[in-house]
């Protein structure tokens, strides 16, 4: 964006005159408009007035419009229509007759026989189209021709906007182009509005030069067709570039600038809409005007700029909140109004108007009068601008303007019956705009000169006129500039309530475009990095085997060589890290946390080099890697905050380090995952050995160097590059106290079998599911499905591998074609500065499972999209298998690549059953707008992270803690990026001091029993007098568990208010494990047994106490069978068992969690069996602090629900204090 000096502010004399003359003209327009108001428009006015006053009814109407007509079966449409009316009531803004009809329909709807459903549904749909016909023009040929004739009679010129399908693929983009060509050739159409997203489905805002070229190619076809039509018919034709979301602004401007600078385009005109609620628009207006003037001087024809205020504010709020950005539009209405006037004032200069014709796009009578009076004051030709208004919005005002001021170009959105669903987004925006109390339109139907509303609008106009002089210079509101990262260094969160995720790079900002172009691809092609092996901070001089890192987009290029550690090197490294003398780093926790904050600073400073190294190393796209850098920074900020939380909240608990933690990190997230593991280990006082995947050495090495640079000593962090075959020297070493692993389940089990009893936490595999029901926004579902399945080639553990479609969706030919088009349109290839392919080379040749998926169909399957092998090494195009059968290889096997299977389900219940049949449980998603379906899915789905109307990838630290259940994890630790994650890196012990907990639990039998025990003098009990201390400990722990369950574990936890995302809920909850077995061994204490037993009972698990045999005089058994536990007798069971019987229970999958009081008490056979069935074993003494004791009774689950519709928050948005 050029920095162009501005001389557009109105003179003092102009302001004085306009303050007088504009209100006078506005009064004339309004009085005439009221005279023009027709009876039918008065009825509409009454409805709109009631809608403005009743936000709930407005939300219900939007819900009806958005949900009912997406269903494909007539009976389902009827049921849904009735259900919404029953649940939320009849919208009060409807007139008496409509409310009466709806009331009758609500009553008799459930009784209507199925054979009457089709005609009734047809009537409902026609009524809905009829009610919206003034806003959305019916696109059928006869209806459209009739509309054209009416416009002709009323002297209106038409700007046609075709509201077709969302463009998900290139075939759909070509169809839109054909529609535009057909429209511009229609003799009744003066202008067509075009959005760049409809011309190219794969718009890329990172390396956007390619996008600009593709869009411009289609645009040139349109303007040439328009010119041909002009020359053939003598009728003016214009193509308008409509503005969309802010993220598309930069690309749209670049397209327009390229058009203006091309001498071959000088004879063609082009228009663009600029939104005044975007501060940047004013500077862009100046830049385009200057280019247009140069072009005009060179013989070019004028262009056109339509100045509008903008109608996508609510969506922009959602986007900004999601990304932790400042919203792009102004936050105050007065600023938008002032900027609108500033833009009009700049446009209305004689030296500009020859080259740039102006459209004034507003329904605000004061803005309309302002343009007219300013034109008069400056003595400009009246033909220098034209009014532009929306069809069907305040038509009486339009007629008034036509009569008093001149011709109008009407913006006419068109949709035929099949496209009506696609018009809903437009309808929602219009409805929100019309009923927003801040907007002039909300008053326009009942407005009279001199009324309170009139005076308020007049005052708004005058205030905005004065505010023009106080506007900030035109620049983006969000000031992120990656070139100046020293100004944006992340700060640590002092409290988890203060934590905010790091903002991803806003690639639409010009400053960040320059940063990307100048920094990401800045190494020479022939540059080769040589990285020697370092042990204890000393370089190993002896020759070692080299591990080579190739640029996957150019496999012939070697970008780095690493000296690989051998077994002796590993032994020396472990000796060094385990025996090095303590330093301030080891002794001072606050010092460690300060150093770690320096790590966050270094990561931010080195964002570009981290992205570049990883992009070459693993062929991951820039935007994906940028998100990884953000996640790494978030881990550094978040984990120290969670540690501080536990220290502050639970002062009785002492936390001690475990020793040396081996972090085995994967290749697919080479920045974020190793950073998270290293930080969690270091902040808790442990020392770390990081063993990265050989496929991502370069990226992870760069991460580790930043830890060292920030001040983490080599004695606390060792980097060991080695072959996987050598890594067993690490995992088998007794000097490794804990292993943190991310990778395949197969590798995790090999490690565990190699060293039984290893303290091991692993995030493993996933066979992730996305369910789409008939109640879904189908196009949004396809968009998210393609993103979830093929983002980074499906090489994410959270990637969607199976889509389960209910039968209505499965049998919908349009859905099938759109999905096919979307997948086939994904760009396949390498990565370069000019193009960021969506499908890039795989990290390695396909393994057996993926190769089979690529090359073979299972019984009854068919190819929707057949994958192809490219010449570039390891490059495959994506594949989609249709008609995947339940229980088949495709259904149950993890592929870890760009392969998606499509299954059919009878209904949502059946879909969830199919989804839960896999042995994995990492992520699962649902696309449905039906509240009952969403509720059911969240209740039954077995996965660690659940997503509703969202993609299944891209979890954010703190917002969406990430981790699975079933075969998607090893161990029972907390989720990565979650509040409990830090606990698994420490030994927790507690002071045996007495704490009084109030009885806040709601489980009365246990509460009553504990109260009775507390009153009893146990020293006088003949049988159990020696257990008095144990009983006191149990009472303390049980009260704490009751309190924690009532106040914490039984609740669903939303994010802190500082972390709330507008339009999306993110919550975290605890799900009981199910079958909890407590193994009692000789010398276990009664207190330890009862604490776990009662915790399980409080949690609602099925508790089984397995008592090892051969325990003569077993006091624990006697107590458990005594009268003291009679009130809980039906809440647990117990039995004496030998290890063989327990083993059979384990191998029979009858246990979901097993608990011992010490690792030494677990037999090898039990460890081995637990590995076979992936059974987590708890093996430490329980604390009496309920927060820690209760954790082992639950699995953690995260829920993300994106509920906004095009920015509209619906019924959830009515309670705004939650946002």
Q: How far apart are CA 1017 and CA 715, in angstroms?
A: 54
Is the pLDDT at 199 greater than 90? The verdict is yes
Taking residues 1002-1013, report their average pLDDT: 82
Under DSSP, is residue 530 helix (H, G, I), strand (E, B) or coil?
A: strand
Residues 650 and 700: their CA atoms lie apart, in Å, by 35
Residue 49: is its pLDDT beyond 80?
Answer: no
Give the model's pLDDT for residue 5.
43
239 pLDDT exceeds 50?
yes
7-16, 272-281, 935-944: range with lowest mean pLDDT: 7-16
1064-1074: average pLDDT: 96
Residues, the chain, total? 1219
Q: Is 398 helix (H, G, I), strand (E, B) or coil?
A: helix
Distance CA 48, CA 59 (A): 13
Provide mean pLDDT across the span 402-426.
Answer: 87
DSSP H stretches of helix in 278-332: 280-297, 313-323
Are 567-763 and 995-1201 equal in CATH topology?
yes
* Cα–Cα dist 147/139, whole Å: 10
Whether 397 contacts 475, CB under 8 Å = no
User: Model confidence at 1216, in pLDDT bands (50, 70, 90)?
Assistant: very low
pLDDT at residue 490 greater than cutoff 70: no
Whether 119 shows a pLDDT value over 90: the answer reads no
pLDDT higher than 80, residue 1183: yes
For residue 136, what pLDDT band results from cuts at 50, 70 and 90?
A: confident
The predicted model gives 1115-1127 an average pLDDT of 89
Q: What is the structure's pLDDT at 955?
A: 94
Instruction: Calculate mean pLDDT across residues 218-240.
Output: 95
Mean pLDDT for the stretch of residues 893-917? 98
Mean residue pLDDT across the chain: 91
**pLDDT exceeds 60 at position 1202:** yes
> Region 924-943: what's the mean pLDDT?
97
pLDDT of residue 1000: 56
d(CA 1061, CA 731): 41
Q: Percent of the chain, pLDDT > 70?
A: 95
At a CB cut-off of 8 Å and minimum separation 6, what does 132 contact? 423, 427
Q: What is the CATH number of domain 770-942?
A: 3.40.309.10
Q: Which of 548, 999, 303 is nearest to 1013 (CA)?
A: 999
Into which CATH architecture does domain 567-763 fall? 3-Layer(aba) Sandwich (3.40)
pLDDT tens figures, 724-751:
889 999 999 999 999 999 999 999 999 9
Find the mean pLDDT for residues 24-33: 96
- Domain 137-420: give its CATH code: 3.20.20.220
From CA 437, how far away is CA 443, in angstroms rounded? Answer: 8
Least confident range of 307-321, 430-444, 537-551, 569-583: 430-444
Give CA–CA dist 1176/225, Å, rounded: 68
CA 16 to chain centre: 50
Domain 995-1201 has CATH 3.40.605.10: yes
Please state the rounded mean pLDDT for residues 295-316: 95
> In sequence order, which residues have a C-beta less than 8 Å from that of residue 728 and are 6 or more positions away?
754
The answer to whether residues 704 and 603 touch, using CB atoms and an 8 Å cutoff, is: no
Task: Map out the domains of the chain as residue ranges.
Answer: 137-420, 567-763, 770-942, 995-1201
Q: Is 1217 a residue whose pLDDT tops 50? A: no
* HEC letters along 340-375: HHHHHHHHCCHHHHCCEEEEEECCCHHHHHHHHHHH
pLDDT in tens, 981-1003: 999 999 999 876 656 666 555 56
pLDDT level of residue 1218 (50, 70, 90 thresholds):
very low
Confidence of residue 679 (pLDDT cuts 50, 70, 90): very high
Average pLDDT over residues 347-364: 96
Q: What angle do CA 1067, 1071, 1076 make, to 5 degrees?
A: 160
Residues 6 or more apart in contact with residue 181 via CB below 8 angstroms: 221, 222, 225
Q: What is the largest CA-CA distance in the chain?
A: 111
pLDDT higher at 35 or 487: 35
Tens-place pLDDT, residues 622-675: 999 999 999 999 999 999 999 999 999 999 999 999 999 999 999 999 999 999
pLDDT of residue 7: 46
Q: Per DSSP, what are the bridge partners of residue 387?
A: 360, 408
Cβ atoms 360, 386 nearer than 8 A: yes
Q: SS3 of 131, please?
A: helix
Task: Give the pLDDT mean for 964-979.
Answer: 94
Q: In a 3-state reduction of DSSP, which class is residue 580?
A: coil
pLDDT digits (tens, 9 = 90+) for 493-534: 567 888 999 999 999 998 898 898 888 877 666 678 999 999
Query: Residues 83-108: pLDDT tens digits?
Result: 888 888 887 767 777 778 878 877 88
pLDDT, tens digit, 9 for 90 and up, residues 786-818: 999 999 999 999 999 999 999 999 999 999 999
């Amino acid at each position: 964006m050029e920095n162009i000096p501005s001389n557009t502010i109105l003179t003092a004399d102009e302001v004085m005159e306009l303050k007088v003359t504009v209100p006078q003209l506005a009064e004339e327009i309004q009085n005439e408009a009221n005279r023009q108001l027709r009876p039918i428009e008065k009825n509409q006015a009454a409805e709109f007035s009631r809608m403005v006053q009743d936000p709930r009814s407005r939300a219900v109407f939007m819900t009806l419009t958005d949900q009912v007509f997406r269903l494909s079966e007539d009976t389902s449409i009827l049921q849904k229509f009735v259900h919404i009316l029953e649940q939320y009531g009849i919208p009060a803004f409807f007139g008496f007759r409509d409310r009466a009809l709806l009331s009758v329909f609500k009553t008799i709807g459930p009784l209507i026989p199925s054979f009457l459903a089709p005609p009734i549904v047809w009537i409902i749909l026609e009524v809905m189209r009829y009610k919206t016909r003034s806003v959305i023009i019916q696109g059928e040929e006869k209806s459209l021709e009739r509309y054209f004739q009416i416009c002709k009679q009323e002297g209106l010129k038409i700007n046609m906007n075709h509201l077709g399908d969302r463009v998900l693929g290139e075939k759909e983009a070509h169809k839109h182009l054909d529609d535009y060509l057909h429209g511009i050739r229609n003799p009744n159409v003066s202008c067509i509005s075009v959005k760049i997203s409809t011309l190219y489905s794969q718009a890329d805002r990172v390396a956007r030069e390619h996008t600009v070229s593709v869009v411009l190619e289609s645009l040139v076809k349109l303007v040439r067709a328009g010119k041909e039509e002009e020359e053939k018919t003598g009728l003016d034709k214009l193509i308008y570039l409509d503005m969309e979301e802010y993220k598309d602004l930069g690309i749209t401007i670049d397209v327009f600038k390229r058009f203006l600078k091309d001498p071959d385009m000088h004879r063609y005109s082009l228009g663009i809409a600029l939104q005044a609620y975007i501060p940047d628009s004013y500077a862009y207006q100046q830049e385009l005007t200057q280019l247009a003037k140069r072009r005009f001087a060179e013989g070019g024809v004028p262009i056109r700029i339509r100045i509008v205020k903008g109608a996508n504010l609510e969506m922009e709020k959602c986007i900004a909140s999601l990304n932790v950005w400042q919203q792009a539009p102004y936050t105050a209405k007065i600023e938008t109004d002032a900027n609108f006037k500033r833009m009009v004032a700049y446009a209305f200069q004689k030296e500009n108007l020859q080259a740039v014709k102006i459209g004034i796009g507003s329904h605000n009578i004061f803005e309309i009068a302002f343009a007219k009076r300013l034109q008069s004051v400056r003595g400009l030709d009246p033909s220098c601008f034209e009014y532009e208004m929306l069809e069907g919005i305040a038509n009486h005002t339009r007629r008034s303007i036509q009569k008093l001021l001149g011709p109008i170009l009407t913006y006419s959105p068109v949709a035929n019956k099949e496209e009506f669903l696609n018009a809903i987004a437009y309808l929602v925006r219009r409805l929100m705009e019309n009923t927003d109390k801040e907007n002039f339109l909300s008053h326009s139907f009942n407005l009279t000169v001199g009324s309170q509303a009139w005076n308020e609008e007049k005052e708004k106009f005058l205030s905005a006129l004065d505010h023009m002089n106080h506007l900030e210079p035109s620049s983006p509101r969000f000031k992120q500039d990656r070139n100046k990262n020293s100004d944006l260094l992340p700060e640590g969160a002092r409290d988890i309530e203060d934590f905010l995720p790091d903002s991803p790079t806003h690639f639409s900002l010009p400053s960040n475009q320059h940063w990307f172009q100048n920094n990401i691809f800045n190494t020479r092609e022939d540059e080769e990095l040589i990285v020697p092996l370092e042990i204890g901070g000393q370089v190993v001089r002896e020759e070692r085997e080299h591990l080579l890192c190739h640029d996957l987009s150019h496999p012939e290029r070697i970008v780095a060589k690493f000296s690989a550690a051998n077994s002796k090197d590993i032994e020396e490294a472990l000796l060094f890290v385990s025996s090095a003398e303590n330093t301030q780093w080891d002794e001072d926790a606050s010092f460690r946390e300060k150093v770690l904050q320096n790590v966050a600073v270094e990561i931010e400073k080195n964002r570009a080099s981290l992205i570049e190294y990883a992009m070459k190393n693993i062929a991951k796209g820039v935007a994906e890697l940028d998100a990884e850098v953000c996640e790494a920074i978030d881990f550094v900020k978040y984990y120290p905050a969670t540690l501080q939380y536990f220290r502050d909240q639970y002062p009785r608990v002492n936390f001690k380090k475990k020793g040396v933690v081996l972090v085995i990190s994967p290749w697919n997230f080479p920045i974020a995952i190793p950073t998270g593991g290293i930080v969690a280990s270091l902040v808790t006082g442990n020392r770390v050995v990081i063993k990265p995947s050989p496929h991502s050495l370069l990226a992870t090495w760069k991460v580790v160097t930043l830890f060292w640079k920030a001040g983490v000593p080599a004695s606390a962090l060792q980097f060991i590059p080695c072959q996987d075959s050598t890594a067993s020297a690490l995992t088998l070493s007794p000097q490794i106290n804990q292993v943190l692993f991310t990778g395949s389940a197969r590798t995790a089990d090999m490690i565990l079998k190699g060293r039984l009893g290893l303290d091991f936490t692993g995030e493993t595999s996933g066979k992730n599911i996305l369910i789409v029901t008939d109640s879904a926004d189908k196009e949004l579902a396809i968009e998210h499905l393609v993103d979830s399945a093929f983002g980074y080639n499906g090489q994410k553990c959270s990637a969607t591998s199976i889509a389960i479609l209910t039968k209505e969706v499965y049998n919908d030919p349009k859905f099938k074609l759109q999905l096919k088009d979307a997948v086939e349109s994904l760009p396949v290839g390498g990565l370069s500065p000019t193009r960021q392919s969506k499908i890039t080379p795989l990290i390695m040749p396909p393994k057996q499972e993926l190769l089979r998926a690529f090359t073979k169909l299972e019984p009854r399957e068919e190819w929707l999209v057949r994958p192809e092998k490219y010449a570039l090494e390891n490059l495959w195009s994506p594949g989609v298998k249709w008609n995947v059968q339940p229980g088949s290889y495709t259904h149950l096997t993890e592929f870890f690549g760009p392969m998606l299977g499509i299954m059919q389900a009878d209904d949502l219940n059946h879909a969830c059953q199919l989804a839960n049949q896999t042995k994995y449980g990492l992520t699962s998603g649902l696309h449905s707008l039906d509240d009952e379906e969403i509720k059911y899915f969240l209740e039954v789905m077995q996965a660690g992270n659940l997503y509703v109307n969202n993609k299944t990838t891209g979890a954010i630290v703190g917002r969406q803690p990430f981790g699975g259940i079933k075969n998607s994890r090893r161990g029972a630790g907390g989720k990565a990026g979650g509040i409990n994650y830090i606990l698994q890196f420490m030994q927790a012990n507690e002071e045996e001091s007495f704490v009084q907990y109030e009885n806040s639990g709601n489980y009365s039998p246990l509460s009553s029993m504990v109260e009775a025990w507390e009153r009893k003098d146990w020293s006088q009990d003949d049988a159990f007098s020696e257990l008095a201390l144990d009983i006191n400990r149990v009472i303390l722990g049980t009260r704490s568990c009751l309190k924690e369950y009532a106040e914490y574990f039984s609740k669903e936890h939303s994010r802190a208010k500082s972390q709330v995302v507008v339009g999306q809920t993110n919550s975290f909850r605890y799900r009981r494990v199910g079958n909890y077995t407590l193994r009692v061994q000789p010398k276990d204490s009664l207190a330890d047994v009862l604490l776990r037993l009662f915790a399980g009972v409080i949690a609602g698990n099925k508790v089984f106490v397995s008592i090892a045999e051969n325990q003569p005089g077993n006091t624990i058994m006697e107590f458990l069978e005594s009268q003291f536990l009679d009130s809980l007798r039906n809440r647990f069971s117990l039995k004496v068992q030998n290890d063989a019987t327990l083993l059979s229970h384990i191998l029979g999958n009858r246990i979901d969690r097993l608990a011992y009081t010490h690792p030494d008490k677990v037999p090898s056979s039990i460890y081995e069996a637990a590995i076979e069935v992936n059974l987590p074993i708890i093996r430490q003494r329980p604390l009496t602090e309920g927060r820690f004791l209760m954790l082992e009774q639950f699995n953690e689950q995260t829920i993300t629900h994106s509920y906004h519709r095009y920015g509209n928050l619906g019924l959830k948005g009515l309670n705004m204090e939650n946002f």
